[in-house]
Chains A and B, each alone.
Chain A
């Protein structure tokens, strides 16, 4: 039985505490892989001073729980922890945590990457950037759909395959 927990919250999270919780009280965990996504700022991001994240309460949690169930069918997982922050976040802030526990590293690495690729294209979150020139909604990337298609899952979030994304 996989232990999994999905949380959408404004507060920051503690990576070490979450990894420890995945291992707590069990000796069958031989690997924990984690991914932490952060807000980029500075010159490479055209002076982004903040990101504001919005989501679809209720659907978000259900959607991610469905992704965890799919990950559990594909890989031998022992535990999954997903935390996604919402609200206003400044450069350097943590946005998302996906941590996956397994007996062996391969399932942990792949389960973690699969969940991030799935979440990027199918969880109902939206990012708005604040820059010196004003605010703008971030565009979805076709590369993220391609990342999910590598797992054999159709994905047309940013646009249909082979066609540019219509602007919105």
Chain B
């Protein structure tokens, strides 16, 4: 259980994060998005599985996830009312960045055994995290109660995903669970790698912006000053050049 062990080691950090009202709100609202997204993914799984029992179970699971999303959202909204954000930067005037449930697992085309294994591992990991979060918010009984409710549901989710995996893949279920764990690790690596690449890319482009663009910016601003506001005649809609991207 290295991941769970690591999480427990990080408990003081989690306590520090959750102690800040702004971060607490942001966390809850992000969880709301992730749970809702995950719920929608599981709805999709229910819609495409050929197995009637799985369809019923997936639907129950999805309803739970969507309800969890509502619980987190309502709690986050309630906290905003009682603890207005310190800065407008909490939202910045745009919607919050949504999470993508189930680590962007593509539901369409995935066999049920792979999805069940993935769900089982994801639920187990989430349960471990939520247990820690429950313990670091003793000052906030309402939030603590939400984590407790969700943890009760996670037990059902972990049980049914494992039992059904054993039912539909009795000889290979262990391999699927290990593959799901490996796939989560790989996805984490990819996320970190993509994050680093993105930062490097942004740094390079920012350097280019300040080094290369000033003369062109001067020209562009000069050209803009010559443009009048309001209507401009369209010189022709390039119907003679249908294959041009310009």
Please determine whether chains A and B interact with each other in the same assembly. no
